[in-house]
Amino acid sequence: MINPRFKLSPLKLQNQLHKFIQSNHIHGHARSKPTKKPRPHKFTRNQLRPPIPFLDNLKQCKTPDEFLSIFNDFNVMGYKHDYPSYASLVYKLARARRFDDVEAVLNFIRTHDIRCGEPMFIGLIRHYGKVDLIDKAVEVFREMGKSYNCARTTQSFNTILNVLVNGCRISDATELFAKAPKMGFKLNSVSYNVMIKMWLGNNDWRKAMKVFDEMLEREVEPTVVTYNSQIGFLCRRGDVDEAKTLFEDMRAKGRRGNAVTYALLMEGLCSLGRFNDAKKLMFDMEYHGCKAELVNYGVLMTDLCKRGLIDEAKGLLLEMKKRRIKPDVVMYNILIGCLCKEGDVSEGYKLLVEMQVKGLKPNAATYRMAVDGFVRVEDFAGGLKVLNAMLHSDHSPRVETFRCLCSGLLRCGKTDEGRFVLEEMHKRKMSLGQDLWGVLATDFCKDDEFAIEYLSHLIAPL
């Protein structure tokens, strides 16, 4: 795979794209000779359509500079890029948040009338939404038909509507929703679900119900998501009986609830202290044709852990095993977090090891809870052991965890271990902070007249 490392500015990228145009395909400037040929394709007998060499090589790239580099290397070899190439490049650059480069590629696509499909623009709108570039997302949606000759469907409309809602642009979302018919979009259940979610998120039940009534008037069939958003809202504000009434109405209309529906009702019951009713509801699910899933057990385990009933929470794991439901990382995290907060860190660590033995990879939250637990009980050696495993798994603790662990190790006289933690903090550009340095200096130096000089030597390279 070609892997040169250089960064093109948006202007340079745009100039290079224009320089090497041939038959409306990009032939951008790159090195006169690629360092390595792209890997050849091996066709298999069962392939329905031939694979695309550029995309196979692009999948192996890890940095944005590599994306642009390999794109240009293929140009040099005469490869003619088409829609899949542009879409993949735009997606990769957007995911890496190289939006200046995205703009340069889009400008080339626009000025040379290269036809691209709606999925590329939908993906870009979502990426802009994730980084709160709402106006950019709106601009892409607006220009799809005008500048890119790409027909917009209700799917792209729903995408921008959701971006506006998630970005708290309530008035813009309301205006766009009202204009949909005039813009040629036929509103569907997703459109209404987004607006219902918006009003419920703003605690406006009346307006949410107005949208729901309009949905029914226009004969748009409500989905499970439509009901779940309303049931969840009612349960969160304590109106569990009203939520159950809505649930019964949903079933009467032939719409079955899913595991999430039951989990929301169970969570509402638990919040009112009705754990037994919640557990009974979970076992009633199967009678109504819905199998209990991890989310349902997660609700019960969370409630038990909140009340400090650890043995009962552990019992749920055994119950899941009997029902052949495999716990996931989230389930283990609930229990590990509870054990660590209660001070039973050794049991929490055993569960961490157990989940790994069963083939589950701990995530950042798993490690952080364990490290914080060891630090809380001042078992700094245990905390360092988990920290090492965490770092080897490409996860990182919070700066507060680093600080507490470092402070504890140095106070215990483990200067080599403390230095290791300091070095790891330095790699991540974390600082202990001026106040904590003062505490460390005081604790570390109070019994040794030469300690201040030693501590200065310890931290000098950092």
Residue 299 clears pLDDT 70, i.e. is over it: yes
**What percent of the chain is modeled with pLDDT above 90?**
53
Name the residue among 357, 355, 313, 368 with its Cα closest to residue 335.
Answer: 313
Average pLDDT on 280-305 reads: 93
Structure token digits, residue 206? 């009346």
Torsion sign (Cα): 162, 163, 167, 172: negative
Q: What is the pLDDT of residue 16?
A: 52
Residue 338 clears pLDDT 60, i.e. is over it: yes
Say how far apart CA 156 and CA 162 lie, in whole Å: 10
Helical pair 99-111 and 134-147, crossing angle rounded to 10 deg: 10
- Predicted TM-score (pTM) of this structure: 0.78
**Residues 104 and 14: beta-carbon distance below 8 Å:** yes
Q: What is the pLDDT of residue 239?
A: 95
Q: What is the pLDDT of residue 129?
A: 96
337 Cβ neighbours under 8 A, 6+ residues apart:
305, 348, 365, 369
Mean pLDDT over each residue of the chain, to the nearest integer: 82
Q: What is the pLDDT of residue 146?
A: 87
Q: What is the pLDDT of residue 276?
A: 96
Say how far apart CA 388 and CA 397 lie, in whole Å: 11
Residue 132 clears pLDDT 70, i.e. is over it: yes
- 4-62 confidence digits (pLDDT tens): 333 444 455 545 554 433 333 343 333 333 444 455 445 454 455 566 666 665 666 66
Q: What's the distance, CA 451 to chain centroid?
A: 46
